[in-house]
Amino acid sequence: MDYLQINGGNKLQGSVTISGAKNAALPVIAATILSDKPVTLTNLPNVVDIRTLLKLLEMLGGQVEHNETTAVVNNGSINSHKAVYEIVAQMRASILVLGPLLARFGECEVSLPGGCAIGQRPIDLHLKALEAMGASIEIKGGYVRAEAPEGGLKGAKIIFDKITVGGTENTLMAAALAHGTTTIINAAKEPEIVQLCEMLISAGVNIEGTGTSELIIEGTGGKPLTFPTTEIIPDRIEAGTYLCAGAITNSKITLERVNAEHIRASIDKLESMGFGFEIEGDTITILPAETIRPVNIITVEYPGFPTDMQAQFMAVACVAEGESLIEERLFENRFMHVSELNRLGADIWLKGSVAAVKGVEKLYGADVMATDLRASSALVLAALVAEGTTNVRRIYHLDRGYDDLEGKLAALGADIVRKKEQK
């Protein structure tokens, strides 16, 4: 098993190119099921989750040609409608094949999902939406078994009780091939949702309200879609993570190929902590702070502060002058990195959904263990400034969502290498 060995204390400098967004690429890959013709996807991140979902398409009978950043997917040959446990258990986003499989083939079986252990993320909202479109659904033997009514899914008015990114994506894809009009109320507004809408629109689906909380989709009545080449948007979470790398080391670094509007919440919080920014086109440069000030954060849905950046900002808060308060409102089990940061010398006090982070003068290297994807990156960030050597173990979490993290950080001047555990 691999781990990262990091010797802290180096200033960073230079530029880093942001990869395509994992969380945008996954629903886009799932959406290719709505087509029976080849679809070309570009700017894919080279991460495990992407390879896992492409493998699932191949197991369903699809044909995939994939290099590091481009894939040509032809789902005209799909001959199975069952997404098996062995794949879905590895990655929660596999549930995104549910809507498109059901819409195109009228039936499917999808294993209940796995993924990061950051708390309950039930799929009941996905299932209620599909039932509102006429599907009959049962959960049996660990699988969701769904069947469309005779003639296919029907457009419906769907009101989500709470905002759900995956639920919005599944419903969008199902609605694209449904008969009639589907209206989604309280839809998620993330840039990844916008990309999916734009992809469906490029294939001729009429969608109103892109980027708002109300989406109106006119389905094709079962007719498969033909997609032009789709380029994945930049990864806003990867971009935010590298901004935090610049912040925690108080270094000037530049991000290339990034959309500043997608990470506005992170930029605003870093500005409040004393950091400056130069933004020009698709490049962002973070400038060192005279004093790293504490910060107060509450995680909420986009365009608010993202839960996927909470851990990274907690790492930065560990070296701020003063006490920061971080409230996690979206997931009840997303503070598992706290105990590991404290092993590095952080002073974090946890009560329920609120963490109080008292800045310390120095962090110290230690052996730490990653618990989920974003927690992993927080430990790497803290290790960049910890005195001595830090070994970050169980980095298979990192490999699920970060494209060559150690290579990009090393190019910026970090002393970081990937090693294998001794047997």
Active site residue 116: yes
Other Cβ atoms within 10 Å of 164 Cβ, number: 22
185 forms bridges with which residues in the sheet?
159, 214
What are the phi and psi torsion angles at 407 (to 5°)?
-65, -45
Going by C-alpha positions, the residue among 278, 282, 280 that lies closest to residue 253 is: 278
| Spatial separation of the C-alpha atoms in residues 220 and 328, rounded to whole Å | 40
**Side chain identity at 301, as an amino acid letter?**
E
157 forms bridges with which residues in the sheet?
183
Sheet arrangement for strand 323-327:
296-298, 323-327, 354-358, 347-351
Bridging pattern class, strands 13-17 and 157-159 = unpaired
Cβ partners under 8 Å of residue 324, min gap 6 = 294, 295, 296, 297, 314, 317, 356, 357, 359
Say which of 116, 197, 244, 318 is annotated catalytic. 116
| Spatial separation of the C-alpha atoms in residues 275 and 293, rounded to whole Å | 9
Cis peptide before 303 (omega within 30 of 0): yes
Other Cβ atoms within 10 Å of 339 Cβ, number: 14
Tokens of 31: 């959406």
Which residues are catalytically annotated? 116
